[in-house]
A and B are shown apart, each in its own frame.
Chain A
Amino acid sequence: DARVTQTPRHKVTEMGQEVTMRCQPILGHNTVFWYRQTMMQGLELLAYFRNRAPLDDSGMPKDRFSAEMPDATLATLKIQPSEPRDSAVYFCASGLARGGNQPQHFGDGTRLSIL
């Protein structure tokens, strides 16, 4: 089965450090989503791309978060500088946007701890 691949799976770093999370979407999928999951807020959408173009990043703190898709096989989410409140599990999902309604398929996440 094709899967979304996320790296690293775990990241522990100190406040103020830059964090980069990577995602390889399922081959052939043309939409990529970044979600954050916390106990308090559940799953929240941060940003998404269609055909590598950013369509919505309204869920992201703009001053510290940035999301890019340098090519069709790689999406990145960066936090600079990181803060303790950024501690969460970050999920990438990919899907195929076409006439029908296609589900999003999730990776296993990056568990981020900011000390």
Chain B
Amino acid sequence: EDQVTQSPEALRLQEGESSSLNCSYTVSGLRGLFWYRQDPGKGPEFLFTLYSAGEEKEKERLKATLTKKESFLHITAPKPEDSATYLCAVQAWGAQKLVFGQGTRLTINP
């Protein structure tokens, strides 16, 4: 069974303090790994898709990386507006559905 585990569950940082979120996964055959951001009362907002080990994607202060067992979301010099829950999901070959982790709730204090 495909599975995604995210850590930590919650992370509190000071503005400007860089850190990383982890997403460990097991999947029968990885078609894609997705990162989403979710704000309170909103639906998940797509950030990145990663397809193969070694791949990296960047968007503003965020960079996502992928290995054969895990993905990291690196946040460089975060700002309070980066506060949100970050969700990781995997899609297996031959499947349309996404299997989500429980998310990491990130808080950036000014």
Contact = CB atoms under 8 A, between A and B. Distances in A.
Interface stretch (B11-19, B20-28, B45-53, B68-76): B45-53
A104 B100 CA distance: 12
> Chain A binding site: helix, strand, loop or mixed by DSSP?
strand
Contacts of A56: 96-97
Contacts of B101: 42
A115 interface: no
Interface string A21-47: 000000000010100000000111100
Nearest to A97: B96
B42 A105 contact: no
A105 B91 contact: no
Contacts of B89: 43
A31 B96 contact: yes
Interface residues of A, number: 23
Nearest to A49: B96
Interface string B73-103: 0000000000000010101000011111111
B97 A45 contact: yes
A48 to B, nearest CB: 6
Contact of A91 (B32, B43, B46, B102): B43
Nearest to B44: A106
B42 A43 contact: no
Between A43, A55, A101, A104, the greatest number of chain B beta carbons within 10 A of the residue's beta carbon is seen for A43
B41 interface: yes
Contacts of B97: 33, 45, 48, 56
Nearest to B6: A42
A103 interface: yes
Contacts of A42: 100-103
A97 B36 CA distance: 19
23 contacts: A4-B43, A31-B96, A33-B98, A42-B101, A42-B103, A43-B44, A43-B87, A43-B100, A45-B97, A45-B98, A45-B99, A48-B96, A48-B97, A91-B43, A97-B96, A101-B32, A101-B49, A103-B49, A104-B46, A105-B46, A106-B36, A106-B44, A107-B43
